[in-house]
Each structure stands twice: as structure tokens, then as C-alpha cells.
Amino acid sequence: MSGLAIVTGGARGIGEAIVRALLEQGVVERVAVFDLAAGSLAAFGAFPATPIYACDVTDEASVRAAYAAVGEVPTVLVNNAGGGRLDRVADGAEGENDAFDPFGSAESFREMVDLNLTSAHVVTRVIGPELVAGSAICNTASIAGLMPNSLFSYGAAKAGLIHWTKAMAKALAPTSIRVNAVAPGIIRTQLWEAMQPSQDAYDVMIKEIMPMQQDQTPENIADAVAFLCSDRASQITGEVIRIDGGLTLR
């Protein structure tokens, strides 16, 4: 494949690794990142620096402005931005964080669904109608969307994203546009830095819950995304690849 990929939330963490994998594995020639603040990613090897367009993926006008600034139809779209306000646990005041409260406020629930589900629809609604046959969309879901857990709104949003991935795959199949998702396990990005700031506590948790006794890396996730967006996966659509070291087998 050639051309351009648009990766949301690509300024750091899993998204940045996705940008790198798409370039280094030859899935695309160029990448444009949509993230909250404008900037650029450092050059990866022979590739020039990747531009970051300021964009809030929950806001359609903002997505339209960023897309207009790019001025090119991509062959790959990765809806990766997500996460949200999971950080107040770091204060040791779990009850204060709505995300961990089964009876949390409707406002914070909506906020989480907005960022982790509706945003993928918003971005795809803007860019999707222009995609040509052979293009690929990949969504970053989570194992939280596959198994019940204490992140109620986040898990519900990611479960919705998985369902939406399959519905979109079915809808777009006749146009030869593929839609897949990845479901990462646990990766110590800034998301986890905020949730579990102590490395010791994090290590104990990983040993306790991970069948393979280790967490995943951003590169583990990025490799699966690059594969799903490449021509090697040309007959794969509506798939959700778990990259979780067997966690969901428990």
C-alpha cells in the first residue's frame, strides 16, 4: 500500500508506536497525526518528521478543520485517541473518580463514551466517505470492552467500539474498505502512569493478573495495527485482535 495514514492520538504512547510501525513496515509513505496540540513527531529513521494537527476528536468542527489542513485523502485511518479521566485514582481517592464508580455521574459517563466511542464515529464520518477501495480503518479498543471490569463507562464505550467496528466492516465491505480493531491489554503509557504511579505496585499487579507474567508494549499493539492496515490482511475485516498476553483467557 502507499499514500497517507491519519492516526488520532498519535502524539505519544500507543499512537506514536502505530505511526512508527506504519512507516517502518511500509504500510504507508506518510502519516498525519490528529492530537490535542499541534506539533510534530521526531523523524523515524529515513522518514521526515510527522506533523501533528491540533484536533479534538470529540468535536466534529475541529476534525473537519484538521482534515482540511491535511488536504489529502488517506488510505489508512487509525482511530486510536482515547483513554480519559482515569487519573484521580493516583490520589488514593478511588471514590472521587467517577470512572470507577458504578453509580457515577451521567456527565462523566457521557464524556467517556464521547472520547472512546463517539469520537471514532465523528472522525470516520468526516473522512470515511472519501476513502477509496483498498483503504483500511483500524480502531483501538481494549480488553476492557471484552470483559467486565471496574472501569464501567470506559469498558462500555470500548465494547461499543468493538460492536461498531463489526457493523462498519459489514457496511463497508461492498466498497472494499476494511474495518478492524485491536484490543490492547495493559501497556504502561501515560494512561497507566496516572492510574498506578508506583512501578512496584504496577509490577505486582502484572505478575498477579497476566498469564504470561508481563505487560504489553506500545510496539506489540502497533505491529497488530500495521498488519491489519496492510495488504497482507486484505481479506480480514470485522476482526478484533487481542494483544493481551492471554489476560482474557482467564
Ligand X SMILES: NC(=O)c1ccc[n+]([C@@H]2O[C@H](COP(=O)([O-])OP(=O)(O)OC[C@H]3O[C@@H](n4cnc5c(N)ncnc54)[C@H](O)[C@@H]3O)[C@@H](O)[C@H]2O)c1
Interacting residue ranges for ligand X, rule: CB under 6 A: 8-9, 11-15, 34-36, 55-58, 80-83, 115, 140, 142, 184, 186-187, 189-192
In sequence order, which residues have a C-beta less than 8 Å from that of residue 132 and are 6 or more positions away? 73, 75, 177
* Torsion (CA) 151, 156, 162, 163 in degrees, nearest 10: 170
> What's the rounded Cα separation, in Å, for the pair 42 and 180?
28
Is residue 50 within a helix (H) or strand (E), and if so which, with residue range?
Answer: strand 50-54
Closer by beta carbon to ligand X, 21 or else 187: 187
Q: How far is the CB of 248 from ligand X (least distance, A)?
A: 12
Q: What share of the chain is helix, strand, coil (3-state, %, to 5)?
A: 50, 15, 35
Q: How far is the CB of 194 from ligand X (least distance, A)?
A: 8
User: Which DSSP symbol is given to 29?
Assistant: S
Closer by beta carbon to ligand X, 134 or else 193: 193
Q: How far is the CB of 13 from ligand X (least distance, A)?
A: 2
Q: How far is the CB of 56 from ligand X (least distance, A)?
A: 5
> What's the rounded Cα separation, in Å, for the pair 156 and 17?
25
> What's the rounded Cα separation, in Å, for the pair 182 and 83?
14
Given 53, 67, 154, 202, which residue is catalytic? 154
> What's the rounded Cα separation, in Å, for the pair 156 and 147?
10
Q: How far is the CB of 167 from ligand X (least distance, A)?
A: 19
Closer by beta carbon to ligand X, 1 or else 187: 187
Closer by beta carbon to ligand X, 173 or else 204: 204
Is 67 catalytic? The answer is no
Q: Which residues pair with 243 in a beta bridge?
A: 184
Closer by beta carbon to ligand X, 128 or else 245: 245
Active site residues: 154
